[in-house]
Amino acid sequence: MKGRNAVVTGSTSGIGLAIAHALAAEGCNVMLNGFGDPAAIDVTRREIAEKTGRTVRYFAADMGRPDEVRALVAAASSALGPVDILINNAGVQHVAPLADFPDEKWDLLLAVNLSAAFHATKAVMPSMLDRRFGRIVNIASALGLVGAPHKPAYVATKHGLVGLTKSVALEVAQAGVTCNVVCPGMVMTPIIEMQVADQARVTGLPPEEVVQGVFLENQPIRRPVKLEEIAAAVVFLCSDAAAGVTGTALSVDGGYVAR
């Protein structure tokens, strides 16, 4: 993958950052995206660039705004060259019973978790088709394949990502472009760490017991999936070895959906 140009949305922390590290280590130039302290993000950007010798840039697009999603792709094309690899990873979460679920949170999750992937994919597709090469990987969740209570918007958007993946893959199957979706199980991301802390406060249990008793209850390996394991799956799907893999939902979930 040396010299390929990659855009990774939501890559200033968690899964997205691990993917950005892994792609750069494989020789890709990378456009980072996400929220956070600008100084800290710049340190991260420079660290990846210095470690890998690749060009690493950052663009602070709000993935809930279609015009900014398109601006991210344009900025990547200008700074790196035509986008070869698109990782739609940006996501947000809100947990509440359906009757109490705020309308604005539904709209936010739909925009960031699902519509952003549509707009980004649409933006990169003409160039990929012209060059007859492209790798698109959407990051969904085990909850893109099964349901869960109190997460109506998250489950709906992640199921939507799986459907979007299949539709795009079929459309471009003979054009040298693949589109796949990775469905992680429970991973210790900053979002999950905040949820663990909230549960610990509510229940009075130590965080370790919350993780084992709540968050890993349905994950047979009984440990979080590692960030590096998710990143490795993405790297494979972006490689030449995966040229025949498209329209596939790859579960990296510790057995979550095997039950």
Side-chain-side CA neighbours of 203 within 13 Å: the count stands at 15
Q: In a 3-state reduction of DSSP, which class is residue 113?
A: helix
Which residues pair with residue 225 across a beta bridge? 187
**256 catalytic, yes or no?**
no
Q: In terms of Cα–Cα distance, which of 72, 88, 89 is closest to 80?
A: 72
Question: Cβ of 43: how many Cβ atoms within 10 Å?
Answer: 11
Nearest residue to 84 via CA among 21, 131, 139, 118: 131
Is the separation of the CB atoms in 237 and 137 below 8 Å?
yes
Q: How far apart are CA 230 and CA 152, in angstroms?
A: 24
The one-letter code for the residue type at 4 is R
Residue 135: name the closest of 98, 90, 101, 169 by CA. 169
Nearest Cα residue to 183 out of 228, 223, 146: 146
User: Which is catalytic among the residues 58, 154, 215, 256?
Assistant: 154
Which residues are the active-site residues? 154
